[in-house]
Amino acid sequence: MTPAQRHADSRQALGLVILGATGSIGSSTLDVVARHPQRYSVRALTAHTSTQRLLKLCDRHRPRQAVLSGCVEDAALRRRFAEAGCELRFGPAALAEVAAAVECDAVMAAIVGAAGLPATLAAACAGKRVLLANKEALVMAGPLFMRAAGEAGAVLLPIDSEHNAVFQCLPQEGAGVSLRGVRRIQLTASGGPFRVTPLERLARVTPDEACAHPNWVMGRKISVDSATMMNKGLEVIEAHWLFGLPAERIGVLIHPQSVVHSLVEYLDGSVIAQLSHPDMRVPIAHALGFPERIDSGARTLDLGAVGQLSFGQPDAARFPCLELAYGALRAGGNVPAVLNAANEVAVQAFLAGRLRFTGIAPVIEEALARVAAGTAASLEHVMDADARARRAAADSVMRLMGQAA
């Protein structure tokens, strides 16, 4: 029985755990949830260090559990959360425990970066319905993750707008989708804020310019990833694991308006696409309600007002990170984990003003060259590759800083 059927049968609210509740996806999720107070009940919320924001959310949504993964034990804070009817836990280990153990109908995995892997994987291993926003978890540990989900009977529903679009456009089979008659998929990409910026200016762009995405409001890490198009590279790898397609059957199309969220091309030449305003509440509501449709709060799409939709090929010279990601997918094993970790270090350094925007791709390329390729058969292998890539990337950042000084 799907959660939607259970809700319809018993009129009982569906329990939700939201990992990364204070972030951009977390906030959009709670916005959709608040539109359906009879349908959903929030069981647990987590944040890293945003204490006051988490407390406010707990006051409003009354979960029984909350986690501050980046904070140490604090009795006064614990008492304050208890007044909101909420047991507060501290430290990163509590994330995976809450993800696996709290009784619920779905876990929204919306922590940013590699930090989300243990809890997202724990939810999959516990056989939960996982609403997957934390693409980095799948990039780092795709085989492990998919095997764990399969063995535990976990259902994965994509939140990333492109993957959610592909999910909606593929033939539905049981609770999932199939590849019957599919030739390939095309992920759309806006091209980010620097799609037409003169190439010689890219070395001087600032973090705020990189985070000023033309169509989406997102966290700072994914905003920089969109500007380099590493985000699309990570999404190609994510699509490979979610849908079981090889790299050569996953294309990328530049589409500056972000209205067509992705396309599925069939053997007979038909192409099916999913369209909406660029508003993450659309894929979130789709996954929350699946297989039913629920109101997301997003405006309806008026194509007459949009007027024109345009498409083009990504420029390899402008977006070198995209090819690095395709290369990592083809190489397999621990290479995607190395790519992801080096990217996180490079993006953090750029956001902190320690690396130029144009230094991001070279830092990743060096880490890929320096860290030996190997297996990703266990979480230990993946975390080892992640740690070695972080050290290699940190060295490269230091060297490039020295050159720039």
* Residue of 254, 277, 255, 274 lying closest to 263 (CA atoms): 274
Identify the three-state secondary structure at position 58: helix
Tell which one of 55, 111, 287, 364 touches ligand NAD (CB under 6 A): 111
User: Residue ranges of the alpha helices (H) in 186-334?
Assistant: 207-211, 220-228, 230-243, 281-289, 303-306, 320-331
Query: Measured from the CB of residue 237, what is the shortest distance to ligand NAD in angstroms?
Result: 12
Please give the Cα distance from 274 to 259 (Å, whole number).
8
Structure tokens at 395: 């060295």
Contact map string, positions 52 to 81, toward ligand NAD, x by CB under 6 A: -----------------x------------
Q: Can residue 23 be called a binding residue for ligand NAD (CB under 6 A)?
A: yes
Please give the Cα distance from 118 to 111 (Å, whole number).
11
Identify the three-state secondary structure at position 270: coil
Query: Measured from the CB of residue 27, what is the shortest distance to Mg ion in angstroms?
Result: 17
The residue (of 23 and 289) whose beta carbon lies closer to ligand NAD is 23
Tell which one of 41, 120, 134, 358 touches ligand NAD (CB under 6 A): 134
* Residue of 82, 8, 7 lying closest to 41 (CA atoms): 7
Amino acid occupying residue 190: S
Tell which one of 218, 341, 376, 385 touches ligand NAD (CB under 6 A): 218
Query: Measured from the CB of residue 111, what is the shortest distance to Mg ion in angstroms?
Result: 16
**What residues between 145 and 204 interact with Mg ion by CB under 5 A?**
160-162
Contact map string, positions 243 to 282, toward ligand NAD, x by CB under 6 A: -------------------------------------x--
Half-sphere exposure of 217 (CA within 13 A, CB side): 7
Query: Measured from the CB of residue 391, what is the shortest distance to ligand NAD in angstroms?
Result: 18
Query: Any idea which residue has 């309806």 for tokens?
Result: 300
The residue (of 41 and 190) whose beta carbon lies closer to Mg ion is 190
Task: Find all residues with CB under 8 Å of 172, minimum gap 6, and list them.
Answer: 178, 291
Contact map string, positions 305 to 344, toward ligand NAD, x by CB under 6 A: ----------------------------------------
The residues binding ligand NAD (CB under 6 A) are 20-26, 47-48, 50, 69, 110-112, 115, 133-136, 160, 216, 218-219, 221-222, 280
